[in-house]
Amino acid sequence: MTDVAGRPFRRLLLTGASGGLGRVLRPYLRGLCDTLRASDLVAPPDAGAGEECIGCDVGDRPAVMDLVRGVDAIAHFGGESVENTFDRILHANLLGTFNVYEAARRHGVKRIVYASSGQVTGFYPTDVVVDPSMPVRPSSLYGVSKAFGENLSRLFFDRYGIETVCLRIAMAFPEPTTHRMLRSYLSYRDLCELVHRGLVAPGVGHAIVYGVSANRDLLWRNPDAARIGWTPRDSSEPFRAGVEARQPVPDPDDVQNRFHGGRFTQDGPFEDRAT
């Protein structure tokens, strides 16, 4: 609902507001609403004008019910953002994502942008270009949890009409620093504009968009990007010469170069690889 100042939302919720991407999105999303409700496990510091900063464990259902009350839309970036033990992934990413969607259902929220991950298809070889119609092949427990969230959001759309744009975010950093990142780089500007379009584009239904800038050698096809009206404006090309000068030529047999998911496809007990 657009207010008299032309902002798309009266109150917008950002979970994971203190995380790496949440800190980038927070000032941008503030311009889309009268009030930004910024949430993380510990309340984000330095609440500015038009901000509500709230501490909330997304695995705590009653707390999430209170958190979602009164919001118009949700950018869900909360939870574990890297590989971890199954118990931590279960609590934050599976239970936590269910709690967000169930709270949205109960409070009548009809649009969510869900931070998924390129690790949902991380076990595809790097010589295969992947699109969202292909079966998931997670490269980690974290990737499994994001595939769960995508499927859960599909159920909540089909059953309850809650529209979701799932963002399979690749590598969002100030600039690419490795050969692998030259293919998977997402600029902060493209990230912010992608989340914006995911929140406001009409009639998205259930969409899956790879969060990646207009790089030269892409690992993904992105048909749903046009559905939400998003065209990336940046590219890794301005950084290529510097990366190639600093980094050795990648070994094609190295696991980080064989699969989309890089190091997360390595063998070994999950608990030992938790970060």
Catalytic positions, please? 142
Query: By CB neighbour count within 10 A (0-12 exposed, 13-18 middle, 19+ buried), where does 46 fall?
Result: exposed
- For the chain, strand residue ranges (E) read 9-15, 33-40, 51-55, 73-76, 111-117, 163-169, 171-172, 185-186, 206-211
Name residue 259's beta-bridge partners.
125
In angstroms, the CA 197 to CA 21 distance is: 16
Give, in order, the Cα–Cα distances in Å from 268 to each of 260, 265, 274. 18, 9, 11
Name residue 79's beta-bridge partners.
none
